[in-house]
Amino acid sequence: MAKRILVVEDNDLNRRLFCDVLTNQGFAVEPVSDGNEVLEAARRFVPNLIIMDIQLPGVSGLELIEAAKADKVLRAIPVLAVTA
């Protein structure tokens, strides 16, 4: 079974690039562009890794990481923070 990666990125080009590269390397990828959907998507997709943009409109990626680490289901998932 392929490792699962949740890609959180509001920039369309960057999100597609992440997803294309990871998919070509054999990962199962779930893209998320809206920060308000991240925690729900993570619970549904159950990723092995979350790649998180820090500068999202409306909500900080740091806040989302904090919320994920406070959640019993999500806290064990490693997060790779990225920013411009």
Q: For domain 4-82, say whether CATH 3.40.50.2300 is its number.
A: yes
pLDDT of residue 83: 87
Domain ranges of the chain: 4-82
The list of the chain residues with pLDDT below 70 reads none
pLDDT of residue 84: 75
pLDDT of residue 51: 98
User: Residue 70 and residue 58: Cα distance in Å, rounded?
Assistant: 20
DSSP per-residue string spanning 14-69: HHHHHHHHHHHTT-EEEEE--GGGHHHHHHHH--SEEEEESB-SSSBHHHHHHHHH
The H-or-E segment that residue 7 falls in is strand 4-8
